[in-house]
Chains A and B, each alone.
Chain A
Amino acid sequence: MTNHIDLGSVLRQTLSANLYSNLVTRPTGRAVRGQIEVMLQSSRRSLTVIDFSHVSMIDFSCADEVIAKLLMQDTPGRESYFVFRGMTDDHWDAIETVLERHGLALVVERESGVELMGVLDADEQRAFQAIKRRGRAHCIELAQDLGEPESDVRVRVERMWTRRLIMRLGDAYMPVGEIA
């Protein structure tokens, strides 16, 4: 199941006065996250595009409530993937701070395709680029591409999948969003 969430619209529905396009304050963040979570409840496996295009700014508190807490959700039996769209440098300052605080990373949609941002090591970034190049890759293929033992690569990509930074379909791994 794929959802598209325009944060600007959700924000205006959340606040009693629909004048603002700023994601500020914790209660606002909690309310916005609550609306997103309602959409996710109905499916065991979902891909949600969270669109910042109509959000002027986000502060640290709201970034923590909306983004960090969504990414940290760990509901047994549920696979929730997120792609963040329309994110600019103006949003990134606050988001980067909360990602660093919690050791998180996320999937961002760029013109060139999806990219990973946040707390990641160089090996994870290399693995992700290798998966992106192939579109869909098995561990043995990634091990060949990266020139590393398959067991090491498997541990790494499983960890990335657990963090919902890549998708897994059977034995294959692919960038989040590729099967949307």
Chain B
Amino acid sequence: MTTVINVPPSLDEHSFEQVLEQVAPLPPDARMLLDARHTKWASPYGLSALLTLGQTRSEARATLAVPEADDTVSYWSRAKFFYYADELFDLKGIVPRRSAHADSQVLLELTPISKHEDVHDVVGRIQEKAQQIIAHELGIDTKAIVGFSMTLSEVCQNIIEHAGQGGWVMVQTYNWTRRLGRRVVVIAVCDAGLGFRRSLETSGHQIPGDRWDDAAALEAAVIRGVSRFRDPGRGQGLAGVRKYVGRWGGKLSVRSGTARIAIVPDWDDDVPLQERLPAFPGAQIEVTIPERIAR
């Protein structure tokens, strides 16, 4: 029997939970059809998390019914979604050949990260575009450009250091007209690896008798800068990301296992900590930097 999983019309870090709620109860070898036919929009997080979900279904390759809307499927194609999805899903529907024209809003299309050289490549590729987008379009101080590249580097390294397998990164700008009335640049990084709790457990960071779960592991790593490595210099990456996000009025959210933690700016009403979410392996990170209002 094949279970149909409905992909919401708008797929972002929040609505992706609806997908996971449907997938989490299924055994790993369950046959699954992800129905994205009516999906109209997906954020970088939505697309990279969808690929990550495909990674987790290696025992029974899932089928993905691709969006029916031409502009949606065209955008997913430009973002290189189908290029990678083809290896992970049985694709059903009309998949266009990749457009020769890159999307000007996509700073970095979906890019696999599995080794340190990939991080060099990603940082190198994004620098020129970041200059254009961050300084000229978002009106953010040019000082933010280097910090943006650092942030991208650190969140990508998180995959290599902790996931134990590859993941994806994507960077895009878009206009949050309804939600914020401003343009934003978003980095999404998703993997289906060890996740924060298991990664920290390898170094014995959990204290017997104390509360120890995915939420505690996220608090330790994201808020307190705890790392699984004994080296006292470790754990600075996410701390640095947090500092950068705070300085530029941005938002950081990290989901791992059954929990999600967020550094929430005043323009957003997200909750700082969510627990008992549907289980999903690895770590999924989203960084959002908004346009500066006062130029």
A interface residue numbers (CB < 8 A to B): 15-17, 19-20, 22, 24-28, 56-61, 64-65, 68-69, 89-90, 93-94, 97-98, 101-102
Contacts and interface: CB of A to CB of B under 8 A. Distances in A.
A27 B116 contact: yes
Contacts, number: 87
A56 to B, nearest CB: 7
B25 interface: no
A22 B236 contact: no
A61 B154 contact: yes
B117 interface: yes
Contact of A57 (B116, B119, B150, B239): B150
Residue of A59, A89, A102 with most partner-chain B CB within 10 A: A59
Given A68-B233, A94-B150, A98-B233, A60 B240 contact: yes
Interface string B111-126: 0000011011001100
Given A56-B127, A69-B233, A93-B146, A26 B239 contact: no
Given A25-B153, A28-B120, A61 B237 contact: yes
Which are the 5 A-B pairs with shortest beta-carbon distances? A64-B233, A60-B240, A90-B146, A59-B153, A24-B153
A97 B239 contact: yes
B241 to A, nearest CB: 8
B143 interface: yes
B146 A61 contact: no
B244 to A, nearest CB: 8
Contacts of A98: 233, 236
B117 to A, nearest CB: 7
A14 to B, nearest CB: 11
Interface in B129-147: 143, 146-147
Nearest to B241: A60
Given A58-B150, A68-B233, 13 more contacts: A22-B153, A24-B150, A25-B116, A25-B120, A56-B127, A56-B146, A59-B123, A60-B236, A61-B154, A89-B143, A93-B150, A97-B239, A102-B233
Interface in B149-204: 149-150, 153-154, 157, 160-161
A59 B154 CA distance: 7
Given A56-B127, A60-B236, A24 B143 contact: no
Contact of A97 (B160, B234, B236): B236
A22 to B, nearest CB: 5
14 contacts: A22-B120, A24-B123, A26-B161, A28-B116, A56-B127, A57-B123, A57-B150, A59-B150, A59-B237, A60-B150, A64-B234, A93-B150, A97-B239, A97-B240
B209 interface: no
A20 B124 contact: yes
A24 B150 CA distance: 8
A89 B240 CA distance: 15
Contacts of A93: 143, 146-147, 150, 244
B243 interface: yes
A22 B116 contact: no
A27 to B, nearest CB: 5
Nearest to B143: A89
A26 B157 contact: yes
Contacts of B147: 93
A97 B243 CA distance: 9
Interface string B207-243: 0000000000000000000000000111011011001
Contacts of A69: 233
Contact of A25 (B149, B157, B239, B243): B157
Contacts of A90: 143, 146
A53 to B, nearest CB: 15
Residue of A28, A60, A97, A102 with most partner-chain B CB within 10 A: A60
Contacts of A89: 143
Contacts of A15: 117, 120
A17 B123 CA distance: 14
B171 to A, nearest CB: 15
A149 B143 CA distance: 44
B242 to A, nearest CB: 11
B236 A61 contact: yes
A166 B160 CA distance: 39
A4 to B, nearest CB: 25
B237 A24 contact: no
Contacts of A60: 150, 154, 236-237, 239-240
